[in-house]
Structure 1
Amino acid sequence: MQRPRTAGELQQFVCAANWMRQSLPEYSRISAALYKALDRAAQVAGSRKKNQLSKVRLEDVNWGDAEVASFEAVRTAPLKMVPLAHPNPTMDVCLYTDANQDFWGAAVTQLPAGEAQRPLAEQDHRPLAFLSGKFVDAASRWSTIEKEAYAIVEATRRLEYLLLRPRGFRLYTDHRNLVYIFNPYATDGTMARYQADKLQRWALSLMSIQYIIEHVPGDVNVWGDLLIRWGAGQVTEDEHEATRVARLAVVERVSSLEDPAFVWPSETEIKAVQDAVREAAQALEGGQQADERELMVMPSGQVWIPADAEDLRQRLCMIAHA
């Protein structure tokens, strides 16, 4: 394959490579120089349409050694492309994420059930997908913990189809504070308020996903550490800290209706409560019994709930205001 001579040829090459990016670890990093060159060409052409970009020669937009090296890295990347496995519902799914100052990356793997408890070097991971991206504009000025958290949130959003499992998935991060931030039962008083608020909003966006979050030291975060290392030493029990998280937020605080212990009111329960205070119901001024449901109703047609049935009243109010 010849090197591109015009911005139009470069755009065609980048678009073709983009179709394979989920199978190419570190795609965002190795292709960054090409995208920058394409942006410079688009400014010169005043458009991103191929026919306009084809009029711009790359040598006129500072095409140099860095861009050539980036082109060669992307061109040869498919030769080392990682074969992706087919999702197996009987296997455990793992999500590894990592971020540095400029880029973030994520990898989803699966391994036979029970192997996650083995030393990392003995685990048989089979890759399902890779993701990567670059921090630009305001995101480039985020703190380290915000960038690490964004990698998790963005990966779970874009790879939700792989992560929604009945048994959940295992999430690995080398940033210890995220173990506590994404654990609603823990607190961290060392973080700025605006950062904590942002991270909690991100956490709430993932409240429907079940997972186990685990801290793994950076030198053994072999999948998440920019997705370039494929093996590491054994992780000791002292280094490997896990916290079981059923949901990313305290469900009772978000919606009590999702609490497994919540009992939904039924007509049978309401009728039983009314029967327990039948005399009071009959003495209710204007009260009458609905023939089709056999429930005591108010003159306005509303079902009558005895005043002393506080638990039933509270549950009905929770449903009405959900």
Structure 2
Amino acid sequence: MDPVKLTGIAEWPTPTKKKELQSFLGFTNFYRKFIKNYSKVVRALTQLTGNAEWTWGAAQNQAFQQLKKQMAKDVILAIPNKTGCFRVEADASNGAIGAVLSQEQGGVWRPVAFMSKALTTMEHNYEIYDKELLTIMLALSDWCHYLMGALEDVEIWTDHQNLQYFRKPQKLNRRQARWVTELAEYHFVLKHKPGTANVKADLLSRRSDHDQGEDDNGDITVLSPEHFQALIMPTVSETQERVKTITRQKELWDKGIATSLEHERGIIEKNGILYYDNHVYVPQHLAL
């Protein structure tokens, strides 16, 4: 087993209080069906999660170390194939980032690799939307040999409410401009999963050894609308806004209207929406 893929687990620090132990057990519980005698192994640990007084002794330490070893041995990270869909679950806390790469095989999502990384001093100062996108960029970079050129769009599960900033044209710094170039190499779709529900990645980003810190180039759209997958059907007003947004993009004007209309006669604009012969012009676009 490649130890690099398991660093998020192998480097998990020994818990010093109940909350830290609960986080570790919460993470391992997701993979209990892959771990032999899971309930027996964790018995000495689960006894400390209730009302019992916190006492970390030899039995607890042995159970903790054994569970980490069995995670590496028994979870048996899936060997990726070329046909299954990939999923990246990513999360950023104030002090660290965490991600899980999985692939659907035989109708079951199997873990392929784990990632957990403390933020640098500079990264600590990033805005929350930059931290969330940083997590995605590092995950894509680490697992590019699996994800670049994937046959199906890579699902990226993250709290993309924090990424709304990038849905609108922004003046980018050099780092963000570099991310734009790198993102163009992948085909992916973002799916919203709040941090409270994105538990596996959330726990990897909040390991106790990661300092949690304190809360805290032209107009370019980093994440275009087609990267965001809606969980509900959009309302009429939302659809109109999408049409407006996409119609305003020059590239879509050039590639959409120029190829679908022989000339501009009969085209009028009203409230940001184009009409042709009194019909709403809807660009050919995945977001619509």
Shorter-chain TM-score tier: 0.3 to 0.5
Which TM-score applies when normalising by structure 2? 0.48
- The structure with the largest alpha-carbon Rg is 1
TM-score computed with the length of structure 1 as normaliser: 0.43
- Identify, as 1 or 2, the structure richer in strand: 2
- Which one has more relative contact order, counting CA pairs under 8 Å at least 6 apart? 2
